Structure 1
Amino acid sequence: MKNKNEFYVSYIDGSLGTKTKQTLKWFALSAVLLIIVSAILFSFSQKPFKNSTFELLSETKITGSFHEKPYPMLRVQIAENTFKNVLLLGFGKSSANPFLEKIRKEVKDLNGKTLSIEGNLIYYNGKTLIQITDDEKVTLSSTSKNRLPQKEMISTMTLEGEIIDPKCYFGVMKPGKGKIHRSCAVRCISGGIPPVLATTDKNNLSQYFLLTNLKGEPINHDILPYIGKPATIKGIVERMEDWYVIKIDISNITELNKTSKIY
């Protein structure tokens, strides 16, 4: 009487039994179906990419009036009586300042002077930034002093939002969200990237505020413990053409017991 239990040893008998073949077929089919279903579920769980742009593989030359109160920017005319203030960033997790040192040796006070900068543009939601990769691509076009953007006092406000690193959030990283990006944002801001408060109003419209101390000076290191944590921040809000600035005291930051929508 033959044993109904199949036992396969490849070097003795190269043929598979009927039951073994059926088991392997069902296992392979189940594995394929599991992979497909898992991939579909994973794709639906991911956040969609933003329509942001980072021109990593191409460089654009822009010319405008340099100013750095509170952070290095270039005031570029885009139409008659219309200007855009482009936030200047360095390569990697660095501010623009190391890339401006060479030109500062020629002209100590760059405020109001016309500079031409060639770099990688980043733009999203009405904001434009440029990454400088080489100090040789920062040139002085004119020493005559141009009009700087005027700041308009709005009011003292309490805003709810999260402090972000604008370089990665606005386009360098896509989607630029999630817990791993919080530590990245801390490193970027500690390296000199300007901190920005991202808020959303009742109509789901986003607005962004450059953060400074009460004197209007950079606030990178003091702000590090609060990055990517939902909070209310009280401060003096000013409009600087196409940007808002909020002057704050660190003691006026109140963390909220909420899950981060960004990180």
Structure 2
Amino acid sequence: MNEFYVGYLPKAPAGISRRIRAVVIALLVIAVAGAFTFASVQRTFVPAMFEYGKVRSFEGIIERKPFPTLLVKRPGSADSGSSHYLLVAEGKHGADDEVSAFEGKSVRLKGTLIYRGNQTMVEVVKGSIAVAGSAEALPATAKTLGVFELSGEIVDGKCYLGVMNPGSGKVHRDCAARRVSGGAARNGQDTWSFRAQW
């Protein structure tokens, strides 16, 4: 005699119960395996960091062009080389207004570190820049490289370096647009900061 399920009975027949139990367990195993497989094939985030809430002190020389930068002497370095820390204001704003009075001067400032690989940025705490000494700016060595065409992606520098991850691609186009309109990526009217892939 074939088993038949009747909905108003308290229990299903034993054969039907076994088949249903096997199907439910198989579906759970497939779902868990699918979740692990999906998670394992995702791209990992690049090692980027925004030290949110951790304010540090920095000392160096302000360079305003092409972008606000703090030239910091490399610790333990015997040569005259320096590290370049890009400077930005809080939010989606550039630090031009903050640094304009300090161009070429040795300063102390407070800010939050943002970094990705060997690229470093400091989100300057408003009003924290103060003259530290009478050191003059390191001589800039600009050279003309000629005219050439680059293709790449305009990115929000803060997001790209570590405030958000991944910080680039389709989901961050709006961040880049807000950053450009806030003045953090623009120099004058015709020069733009962008990430290029060779």
Q: TM-score, normalised by structure 2?
A: 0.79
8 Å Cα contact 1:75/1:149 also seen in 2: no
Change (3 A) 1:148 1:63: farther
2:168 counterpart of 1:172: no
Structure 2, unpaired ranges of 5+: none
Q: Distance in 1 between matches of 2:135 and 2:67?
A: 21
Q: Which residue of 1 aligns with 2:93?
A: 94
2:39 counterpart of 1:48: no
Q: Distance in 1 between matches of 2:18 and 2:29?
A: 17
Change (3 A) 1:143 1:37: same
RMSD, matched Cα: 3.1
- What is the CA-CA distance between 1:19 and the residue it aligns to? 4.2
Per-residue CA deviation, residues 78-106 of structure 1 (Å, 9 max, x unaligned), is: 133011121001223222246x2xxx7xx
Secondary structure of 1:169's counterpart equals helix
Q: Which residue of 1 aligns with 2:111?
A: 119
Q: Distance in 1 between matches of 2:169 and 2:40?
A: 16
Structure 1, unpaired ranges of 5+: 196-211, 231-260
Identity %: 25
- Partner amino acid, structure 1, of 2:63: H
Q: Distance in 2 between matches of 1:187 and 1:45?
A: 32
Change (3 A) 1:151 1:41: same
TM superposition outliers: structure 1 runs of 4+ over 4 Å: none
Q: Which residue of 1 aligns with 2:57?
A: 61
Q: Which residue of 2 aligns with 1:207?
A: none
Q: Which residue of 1 aligns with 2:73?
A: 77
Q: Which residue of 2 aligns with 1:131?
A: 123
2:175 counterpart of 1:184: yes
Q: Distance in 1 between matches of 2:167 and 2:7?
A: 52
8 Å Cα contact 1:63/1:114 also seen in 2: yes
8 Å Cα contact 2:87/2:122 also seen in 1: yes
- What is the CA-CA distance between 1:54 and the residue it aligns to? 2.3
Q: Distance in 1 between matches of 2:118 and 2:183?
A: 22
Q: Which residue of 2 aligns with 1:38?
A: 34
- What is the CA-CA distance between 1:130 and the residue it aligns to? 0.9
Q: Distance in 1 between matches of 2:47 and 2:142?
A: 29
Secondary structure of 2:101's counterpart equals coil
Q: Which residue of 2 aligns with 1:247?
A: none
Aligned residues: 194
- What is the CA-CA distance between 1:168 and the residue it aligns to? 1.1
Q: Distance in 2 between matches of 1:63 and 1:159?
A: 34
2:141 counterpart (150, 163, 169): 150
Q: Which has the higher contact order (CA 8 A, sep 6+)?
A: 2
- Partner amino acid, structure 2, of 1:89: V
Per-residue CA deviation, residues 115-144 of structure 1 (Å, 9 max, x unaligned), is: 212222122232211112x31433232355
Q: Which residue of 2 aligns with 1:110?
A: 102
